[in-house]
A and B are shown apart, each in its own frame.
Chain A
Amino acid sequence: MTSLATGRGTFPHGIHPPERKHPAAEAPIEVLPTPAEVRIALLQHLGAPCEATVSPRTEVNLGDLVGDSKAFVSAPVHASVTGLTGRTSVATLPNGRHVPVIPIKAAGSGPSAETQPFSGQSLFDDIFGGDWPKDSFDQYEPQQILDAVRKAGLVGLGGAAFPTHVKLTRNPDKPIHTLLINACECEPYLTSDYRLMLEAPAPIITGALLAQRAIGAQRTIICIEDNKPDAARTLRQAAEGASIQVNVLRTKYPQGDERQLIVSVLGAEVPTGGLPLDIGIVVLNVGTCAALARAVLRGKPLTHRIVSVSGGGIKQPKNLLVPIGASYGDLVTYCGGFTDDVARVVAGGPMMGFTIGALDVPVTKGASGLTALSQTEVRKADETTCVRCGRCVDVCPVGLVPTKIALASKAGDMALAQRYHIIACMECGCCAYVCPASIPLVQLIRLGKIRLPKAKA
């Protein structure tokens, strides 16, 4: 199969945007006070949407099932607060989708809500604290692990929100030899994974070992960028005794994308249009691992996640442990609100995140951060003509010619766009970042991808 050759520790091209991880990197994880209401989206993952399993005006407890689906590629959703459900309404997610949401009015709310089972430090300890064993977990059958993972509603917490039990299901035609744990967090500003690695590395290791058992990988490697040396240290300490390697890679954007990660660590290429499992590799985010450990060993569902709120436009950057379904407005208010020169509010990181135009958007499982960019930080958009300088070609990590694809898409010449491999574009934003003419290359390529099936008809 694929050779297990070690990669060179980095991938070709890419960019070095300013990391701007401080001061959020110094902010220890704080627990968001229980908000008055959460709205659980019935579609917050890749795959089939859930259907509500509770009717309105039902009392639910933290962790109760509120939505499920019979489809394989899906994940159930659970109540993230104890309270009373309301009538299903619709919310707009940052990617523009309108999804049904189940609102839950939290019983008694505020920082010292006593009708909530946990709040403040006790919530943090319940989720991340306690004993996290590091054995090989041979006593668990893979299917046991998968059932627990699905029951907990676990999806990829790195942003893509792909149902984890599907990712860890063994395929007899495509055996997995390596499990990679993605600790890179290559987007500027985001620090949620970083703080998790510093403050709670133990469940990450446990989760990685459980995932390894489920998928049957021969080895597990944690991959981290070299701008996080202390996190690498805590992970190495936590992994002592377990046969998990920690690999430090050169800091470069987009190191955290799984294709680039596999090139850097293993020197292997994921076929265009394919998945890492096609070459025997599975990649999991560190946050997913931590939640996985809790799901399998303690039977607890995914109800909270760490969101990093930062950027020049927010008054007090923090890393918050928030219940799924809290609104972005709750996060912003807790962080002191916006500064006067805030210009753009991005759900996610500044390179690939979606802007939001209103703050009543609910936090979903894939929400890794909120970046409020100030006037000086945000990209200026004075578009001029392409002078074919070729800098986009110099930085594209996939090895494409972005200007050709973008201009072909703009002109509707989809045959030309396909000849330049438009499908392989992963919309990382490196090309638009360097373009001297400020051409919105990524947006034009997205337009091209939408036009593709129509061109075929």
Chain B
Amino acid sequence: MAETEPTNGSGPSAGSGPSAQGEAAVAEPPAGPLIHVAPSPHLSKTSLTTRLMMLDVIIGLLPVVAMAVLIFRWYAITQVGLCILSCLAFEALFTRLRGKAVTLGDGSAVVTGAILGLSLPWSAPWYIAVIGSAIGIGLGKVVFGGLGYNIFNPAMVGRAFVMLSFAKEMGASAYVAAQSQLPVVTQATPLTVAKKVAADLAAGKISIGDVQAQLHSASQLWPLFLGNINGSLGETSALAILLGGCYLCLRRSASWEIPAGVILSSFLLAGLANFLKLTPFTALHHLISGALLFGAFFIATDPVTSPLTPKGKFIFGLGVGAYVMLIRLFSGYPEGVMFAVLLMNIVVPLINQWTIPRPIGGPMPKVL
């Protein structure tokens, strides 16, 4: 109904007379420049496209991928590579099934694959990556209508599905391989250790004085920051995540309000929990361990599934951080970023309604 496309019409050419529009049968274009009409505005910021935003995310993920390859070596390459390829293949397949044009070029499937791959444990078998990609792309994105229409973060939909379906292969024990050439995987993940220690403390099996000894290597801040610890592929190195994440925020391809909210609420809740002896980790430990930072900067910042306004984004971030701490403290899982993000995705339309900004001059008076 509306003229949203520019209509091509031939305008007067420089110097010569009006083009003979009666000769519609002639295939040759009229001499002179072709002028078209279109609605305003007639300028646009050419340096800003959706594809460039996706490219920014991929660039931001490069430090994380690099660290993952450094720490987990061959496993990182296979997991991430397999996820990316599967996501691309399934997006092409499902979009074709729906009868729509395939738009792999916008880069969103690559981003979904990279994030899904980085959220898997090093030991997950190949079918986990493939099934996770299929469900994530299919049920998390294409079935809603493709890019821009999904409610839930597609990578997290895929991961949640394989987490619940393949509990053994994705559970805490899958991360540990006592006889492995990779030094980091011989120990449990820091959060798993923290949870066990907290449970033992609560059950009275150990005393407060034993906590440090029980945690031993899991409580060292420097490895937690650098990434020399066990965990899923992308979550270990807080340094790499911060590097990539800050790049994204500076480019405004991710909104800084979201990680700010996540970090603030999780830090405060972790500090409170530490004070109440609910967890042996300090707030800083909680911040740089697990997938919290990775979720804050790369998962929660997915624009499609987060709110529209700065205030809404901050509230969303606060919610994700709070949920992460809740799951870490009170659920059976040692880590819960994926569930936190999915749960907050549900609330996004409500947050959008709550944070409708006030226009300059106030809302229109009721009488119209």
Contacts and interface: CB of A to CB of B under 8 A. Distances in A.
B249 interface: no
Interface in B39-81: 39-46, 48-50, 52-53
B43 A391 contact: no
Interface in B3-26: 3-6, 9, 11-15
A272 B41 contact: no
B43 A188 contact: yes
B166 interface: no
Interface string B274-314: 00000000000000000000000000000110111110010
A381 B309 contact: no
A340 B11 CA distance: 12
B202 interface: no
B356 A401 contact: yes
Contacts of A403: 308
Interface stretch (B142-150, B224-232, B238-246, B333-341): B142-150
B304 A424 contact: no
Contacts of A342: 14, 33, 35
B365 interface: yes
Contact of B40 (A337, A354, A393, A419): A354
A432 interface: yes
B360 A397 contact: yes
Given A387-B53, A388-B148, A423-B364, A393 B44 contact: no
A436 B41 contact: no
A242 interface: no
Given A387-B53, A387-B147, A344 B45 contact: no
A436 B48 contact: yes
Contact of B35 (A343, A399, A446): A343
A114 to B, nearest CB: 29
B48 A355 contact: no
B50 A437 contact: yes
A390 B309 contact: yes
Contact of B14 (A340, A379, A393, A444): A340
A80 B37 CA distance: 29
A355 B9 CA distance: 12
Contacts of A444: 2, 4
Interface stretch (A97-105, A117-125, A147-155, A263-271): A263-271
A380 B44 contact: yes
Nearest to A410: B2
Interface stretch (A35-43, A288-296, A356-364): A356-364
Interface in A366-424: 371, 373, 377-381, 383-391, 393-394, 397-401, 403-404, 410, 418-421, 423-424
Interface stretch (A54-62, A67-75, A177-185, A345-353): A345-353
Contact of A442 (B11, B40, B303): B40
A338 interface: yes
A434 B49 CA distance: 9
A435 B4 CA distance: 15
Contacts of B310: 390, 393-394
A442 B38 CA distance: 12
A440 B4 CA distance: 6
Nearest to A437: B50
A433 B303 contact: no
Contacts of B39: 355, 440, 442-443, 446
A350 to B, nearest CB: 4
Given A401-B308, A442-B39, A272 B364 contact: yes
Contacts, number: 215
Nearest to A409: B2
A188 B41 CA distance: 11
Contacts of A447: 1-2
B172 to A, nearest CB: 35
B147 A344 contact: no
Nearest to B147: A385
Contacts of B5: 381, 383
Contact of B362 (A272, A338, A381, A456): A272
Contact of A388 (B11, B303, B360): B303
Contacts of B168: none
B147 to A, nearest CB: 5
B363 interface: yes
A357 B308 contact: no
A143 to B, nearest CB: 31
A398 B50 contact: no
A273 interface: yes
B359 A424 contact: yes
Contact of B361 (A269, A339, A354): A269
Contacts of A300: none
16 contacts: A188-B43, A272-B365, A329-B12, A343-B34, A350-B42, A353-B40, A355-B42, A378-B42, A378-B43, A387-B50, A397-B360, A419-B356, A432-B41, A433-B41, A436-B50, A442-B39
Given A343-B34, A421-B356, 20 more contacts: A269-B362, A273-B361, A273-B365, A313-B33, A338-B35, A339-B14, A344-B38, A351-B41, A352-B41, A377-B43, A379-B42, A381-B38, A384-B50, A385-B148, A386-B148, A393-B310, A394-B252, A398-B361, A401-B357, A447-B2
A-B pairs with the 8 shortest C-beta distances? A429-B41, A385-B148, A379-B44, A272-B361, A443-B39, A355-B37, A424-B359, A389-B303
Interface of B: 1-6, 9, 11-15, 33-46, 48-50, 52-53, 103, 106, 146-149, 252, 255, 303-304, 306-310, 313, 352, 356-365, 368
